[in-house]
Each structure stands twice: as C-alpha cells, then as structure tokens.
C-alpha cells in the first residue's frame, strides 16, 4: 500500500458531535460460518451498524448509497426511498433489499451477505432507471466509521494499492476498508456536517471536495462509482474490521478480488 507523500487533509475538524443511528432495526444478519465475526443490522433499506469482533461492538454508524443526477436532485437511501427487505432464504441471515425512489424514477437492488470465511460484509448492487435517466445518474457509497465503539477520534484515508484506490479508516488497532468491483472515480474523506460527502453533494449535486485524509474526528468516507465500467451496474463492497498491525491490512484488502466483469 502507498499513500500520497503529502495528502490533502480535510480542514474543519473534528466535525459535529457524533450520534449513533436509531435503535429500531428491521433485520440482523451474519455469515453462516463462525470464521466470520461480523454482524450487521438493517433499517430504512440500508446498513445501519456493523459489529466486530462481537455482536455488542459496533464499528460503523451506517453505510448507504447516495444518488444524484448532477443537476437537479440529490437523494440518500435513508430519506428518499421506500424499501422492502426479505431474507435470501428461510435459513440464511442474508438479505435482499429493494429501495424504490419515492417518485418512482429509479430503483436500487441489493443483496447483503456476510463473507463466511473472512471478516467482511459483501453487498451486490444493481441500479435500474429509464434509458433516458440512467446515463445521468451518479452513485456514491457513504460510510460513517465509529471504530472501537465511538464516533470521535476516527481517521479516514484514501488508500492506494497498486493502480487501485480504496477507502480506509483507522482508530487504535482497528481498521476498516471499503473496496468495489468497479473503480472509484471520486474519493473523499471529510468531517461530518462540515465537508463530508453528504454535505458536499447536498450543496450543488457534485463532489467538489476530494480530500485524501480526515484525521482525529467524526468522519465520513465517500466513494463515487464509475458506472460506465460496470455492465448492468453491478458492484460489490467489502467492509473489513481488522484488529491487528497496520502493515497486515492491505494484504487482507487485496484478497477481495477486483472484477471488471461483474
């Protein structure tokens, strides 16, 4: 892994006071194998908390998708969609999610499962819209790390691994990484309520601030997906919590394949 020698660090820290998401949950999931120690919950059609290494240790506040056409609207999954959640099968704690934009203009389909062999959460995504609207849509993943059970003192980074870029967060000995099977074409780390991706996109429907690090605060990670590089608009995400030495973490990330044919 390599990082910029002088990364562009977000100003305005530490951000607004962190808060946990609502206690109401629609679903709770995990992998079928005890090799994975990741648990997660769902509400309003999005991932509301991820727990590791035990079910009482939340490490993120939420992970959701943001959508904009770059000109007239900005939506997030928690506020602008009507969702349906169902199990992938009767005996599995994995879920199929359908989030329909309230005006019916487009739909996000997600399959959410825990990797049975690694401490990783996988999300397969499909975005559907009319042929006229689909080329205009821009899709972003937004993650709010609350590592080691707290929103303060988190650090966010744009990680460089070979030719690829990922999002990462760190606090103490705990790391989180987000990777996608299609390239990220825009990446930013910011302080919540100041210059995070949600705040930036809500202002003018564009990600103007692209900071490579946000240090010691209440932070959010934002990654724009290059939808032109994905046939059928499919993506996968891995969220990994790894309590170990920093140098080991990038090798773990690379075990999650980057695919061009998803």
Q: How confident is the model at residue 5 (pLDDT cuts 50, 70, 90)?
A: low
The structural architecture, per CATH, of the domain 27-254 is Distorted Sandwich (2.70)
100-122: average pLDDT = 93
- Mean pLDDT rounded to a whole number for the chain: 86
> Does pLDDT of 89 surpass 50?
yes
> Does pLDDT of 234 surpass 80?
no
Integer-rounded Cα radius of gyration of the chain: 17
> Does pLDDT of 58 surpass 60?
yes
Residue at token pair 């990797």? 115
Give dist(CA 260, CA 185) in Å, integer.
Answer: 14
Predicted confidence at residue 256, as pLDDT, reads 26
Give dist(CA 172, CA 30) in Å, integer.
Answer: 25
**Is the Cα torsion angle 77, 150, 56, 172 positive or negative in sign?**
positive
DSSP characters over 166-219: EEEEEETTEEEEEEESS-EEEEEEEETTTTSHHHHHHHHSS-----SEEEEESE
47-57 residue pLDDT tens: 999 999 999 99
> Does pLDDT of 220 surpass 60?
yes
Count the residues in the chain.
Answer: 262
For the ranges 81-95, 188-202, 210-224, the lowest mean pLDDT is seen at 81-95
- 190: Cα separation from own chain's centroid: 14
Predicted confidence at residue 41, as pLDDT, reads 96
153-178 residue pLDDT tens: 999 999 998 888 999 999 998 999 99
> Does pLDDT of 235 surpass 90?
no
Predicted confidence at residue 35, as pLDDT, reads 87
34-38: average pLDDT = 89
Give dist(CA 15, CA 220) in Å, integer.
Answer: 10
Predicted confidence at residue 135, as pLDDT, reads 92
């Amino acid at each position: 892994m390599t990082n910029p020698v002088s990364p562009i660090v977000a100003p305005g820290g530490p951000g607004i006071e962190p808060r946990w998401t609502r206690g109401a949950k629609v679903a709770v999931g995990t992998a079928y194998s005890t090799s994975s120690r990741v648990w997660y919950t769902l509400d309003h059609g999005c991932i509301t908390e991820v727990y590791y290494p035990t079910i009482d240790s939340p490490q993120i506040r939420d992970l959701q998708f943001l959508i904009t056409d770059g000109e007239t609207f900005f939506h997030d999954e928690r506020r602008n969609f009507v969702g349906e959640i169902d199990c992938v099968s009767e005996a599995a704690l994995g879920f199929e999610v359908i989030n329909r934009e309230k005006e019916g203009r487009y739909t996000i389909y997600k399959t959410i499962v825990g990797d049975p062999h690694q401490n990783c959460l996988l999300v397969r995504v499909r975005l559907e819209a009319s042929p006229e609207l689909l080329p205009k849509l821009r899709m972003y993943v937004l993650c709010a790390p609350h590592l080691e059970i707290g929103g303060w003192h988190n650090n966010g980074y744009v990680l460089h691994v070979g030719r690829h870029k990922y999002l990462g967060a760190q606090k103490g000995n705990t790391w989180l990484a987000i990777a996608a099977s299609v390239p990220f074409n825009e990446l930013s780390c910011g302080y919540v309520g100041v210059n995070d991706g949600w705040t930036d996109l809500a202002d003018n429907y564009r990600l103007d601030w692209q900071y490579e690090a946000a240090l010691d605060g209440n932070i959010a990670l934002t990654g724009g997906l290059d939808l032109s590089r994905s046939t059928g608009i499919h993506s996968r995400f891995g969220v990994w919590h790894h309590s170990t030495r920093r140098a080991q973490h990038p090798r773990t990330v690379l075990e999650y394949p980057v695919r061009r044919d998803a």
